[in-house]
Structure 1
């Protein structure tokens, strides 16, 4: 199966998960709005949500897959299977210990995530309660993702890719049983939602365990042992996961800044959810398929093939990220209104979400570029550069957000996050150029043409918004949604037509095959 086709399968599963996740978030906005209960729940949900995204976009793959591939190439399938079993049992112990620690230290964790809540005792206490109910998801989903990494290393992607879809379905089922509340009722409903988060992690784990037991290969469960290979994995998996999840951790830093302003945590959450939709297709595909492919090529000594696979992935990532960024920046207002403005989520909340979405759109191409450029470093187990880029991203996000917020309000928080993502991409780009300065011929030209096609699409969308303005502000939701859908479909068709017409997209990278 081609690299592009495998990426498409995993990416489409991720898109399905995110679309259903959108339905979940629309229902959360309807049920909780952007008041105290929503702010408390979404802050508590931040860590499980970041863990889900980091794990789902291949965060554990970055630490596990290269080492597993090397053991399999050097010592055989049986030894690799024993190593995988030891990794699973060791991870179970470590994740249970982490969960117990967070349960005990939940007030300190909430203080770190949202220092601005300290001035509101009720909101702070509520966030602590929600965190304790929801955090077990991290242990359950973490173990599930490590099992998924094993399946991905064997190039079995389906179960691990589809599990989040069913997890989101479970969350929607819970939300359908809840009504649009007043603030007091919203607090009780937040308890049920927090508990449902942990239950969804158990469902995720169950799905991948069933897939593993159906076809275990050479995998054998082992008791936890601190072998040299496990020590090596431990030294790599946490830094690799942190570096792979730099984008998600930067959102956590931005959330801490946003906690100083009422409702800003909720607005940032919803804006980030929209911005993550195109990034999911890119992030999950390259973090799962590209890493496995590059690791296998490097283990086989095919350095040229690994470089070409990375270059093709970068072109594909930018082919999606550039038009997505332009579209989100232009359509932020209608998107926020159509998706979220209902029930307890009012016009002011939609406006705040749209403002942040425009700022986040600026950093989308940088986030996609960084995701691709980091994979060869993970495959080589060379983590210093991705870690340096991730740390720079977090520092810039926090400092820029704090500096820009007084003058720009919530827009400054979003712009600070985009600046941090840009710094991460620049660090990785400079290091990648020093390692492999020669990219395939014509790549710079094709990327420039992709940018031109995205701008042409932007001009078309701006004109379409003026033409459809009466429908976009209609009272009926179906009319507004129809006008927005027409803009999206027309913009996609315009971009594809222009890109194909000027030669920005060439079909050969779709035919790139594994050895």
Structure 2
């Protein structure tokens, strides 16, 4: 979910690698194919499709960080933690209602109906949207009515004050209706993706972020930053402005997607005929997905309780965790999600036709590409974590110490980015194969590892490291998920060329290690020595350290003949020459 709302990391968030040249993406808008025959492939490459999405995602997420920085400046740590806690709620409930089912069931189903129905799946999609809108509306109303009970459960802790719990509830009343508009946006995005249009879903969140940025600007102008905000002294008008502005942002995002539907030739007509949807089939496929998502939300529940239990201590808190999570998801979204969003329709079509070797080839190619593209970002997050946090989040009611604490969490998060994206690729491969039961069963031990990590690390770590510990537990669970998934996929679809994957990952790791070592030494010689006191020092460290990392990584990767990096460099050279 965009805008800083937590979403299950194994269910596609907002929908995003630059792919190898010559890799094509299935076009469902082309000539109708005879059932059983290979589909006509478009001339556009995975790289071209992903580039559009990656640029949109990057712009959206950069603006999203401006948004989150302003929220922190406006609210500070105490109220910011309550606001962030309330934002977790619609993300959890959305995932249970639609999030995982959308990527694992509905998109593959829409692809099949797009190819097989005489009208290209238009009427089926209209019926699906009509049914989903009604169900989302009813669910949203019920959840808003139950807001006090939901927040009481998530904030029940001996260390959580009644005022903090009440504040989370008040924010929840305003923010929970986001569930409806998030679901609407996701459904429209799925319709557009199936019809080969990827740009609008990537760019629409920018509208959301601009609205919230404007609201935060108004908050700062009206109320200033001189007085520290707490759960006890924040006013109803301040809560209404921030909470209502957050909801308005998602409403604008959903509306902003409607013109793109007309562009792809889809006409939204009300068709209420649930029986014609084949809900039995959807239900059978979705059942295991609900098990999968439900297990993830238990982990989120444990996470929020742990973070809320440290409210008022030296723990960086939910706001810091969420800010770092957004940074991690930015890297994952620009690279990993772009890859899978472009490849999922093609993989689904290949799986439906029994061409498992193509599924294997695309998954292997995706892992190599994601690793090569994410490695320098991992190094940047690990080496430049504190200047990044100071540059993005310090200001207003967020102090330098608060920002440096977020930097510590980001250092840990750097090592979770690559396992996250690889596990995401593998899970979506199961979706393409309609292996929802397998994905759900794999997820059970993964969630068990994650929750155990939360409780163990919370018990042994200093309070100031709780958020970092929760991030480390996530990273370990992503790695476990990737390893189990690859082993099962190899048995399901055949050879995955894991030897070549390992060789590629090893070369990427060496290149990343060289870049990290050189950058670490250089940054320690700069003013602030890696822990900047203010934005000037942070900008200096980011500029110098970023250039060193990029040059060192690219140079070493080219020397080691990392194929994916060589392709990207070659493509850039050709475009510059042209």
Counterpart contact for 2:558–2:566, Cα < 8 Å: no
State the 1:358 CA deviation.
2.3
Higher helix share: 1
How many residues matched? 510
In the superposition, relative to structure 1, how do residues 145 and 317 fare at CA in structure 2: closer, same or farther (>3 Å)? same
2:111 is matched with 69
1:313 is matched with 366
State the 1:306 CA deviation.
2.5
Residue correspondence of structure 1 range 2-401 to structure 2 within 5 A: 2-35=45-78, 37-48=79-90, 60-73=102-115, 75-78=116-119, 80-116=121-157, 119-179=160-220, 180=225, 181-183=227-229, 184-185=233-234, 188-217=237-266, 220-227=269-276, 229-237=278-286, 240=289, 243=292, 250=299, 253-262=302-311, 263-401=316-454
In the superposition, relative to structure 1, how do residues 227 and 253 fare at CA in structure 2: closer, same or farther (>3 Å)? farther
Q: Does 2:515 match 1:457?
A: yes
Deviations 1:47-68 (A, max 9, x none): 3456889999987233212112
Distance in 2 of aligned mates of 1:371 and 1:380: 14
State the 1:242 CA deviation.
7.6
Distance in 2 of aligned mates of 1:125 and 1:425: 40
Counterpart contact for 1:59–1:241, Cα < 8 Å: yes
Q: Does 2:479 match 1:422?
A: yes
In the superposition, relative to structure 1, how do residues 146 and 270 fare at CA in structure 2: closer, same or farther (>3 Å)? same
2:555 is matched with 497
For structure 2, list consecutive stretches of 5 or more residues without a partner in the other structure: 1-43, 572-578
Q: If the length of structure 2 is used for normalisation, what is the TM-score?
A: 0.81
State the 1:149 CA deviation.
0.3
Deviations 1:62-82 (A, max 9, x none): 321211222233x32426212
State the 1:470 CA deviation.
3.8
More displaced stretch, 39-48 vs 403-412: 403-412
Distance in 1 of aligned mates of 2:460 and 2:408: 14
Distance in 1 of aligned mates of 2:521 and 2:324: 24
In the superposition, relative to structure 1, how do residues 269 and 58 fare at CA in structure 2: closer, same or farther (>3 Å)? same
Deviations 1:83-105 (A, max 9, x none): 11111011111111111121111
In the superposition, relative to structure 1, how do residues 114 and 286 fare at CA in structure 2: closer, same or farther (>3 Å)? farther
Counterpart contact for 1:10–1:158, Cα < 8 Å: yes
Q: If the length of structure 1 is used for normalisation, what is the TM-score?
A: 0.90
State the 1:334 CA deviation.
2.0
Secondary structure at 1:177's aligned position in 2?
helix
Secondary structure at 1:438's aligned position in 2?
coil
Deviations 1:180-208 (A, max 9, x none): 25313577434322112221221121122
Deviations 1:208-265 (A, max 9, x none): 2221134334775411413352332344357548858988885554232211112522
Q: Does 2:478 match 1:478?
A: no
More displaced stretch, 446-455 vs 419-428: 419-428
Distance in 2 of aligned mates of 1:53 and 1:335: 30
Counterpart contact for 1:143–1:205, Cα < 8 Å: yes
More displaced stretch, 226-235 vs 168-177: 226-235
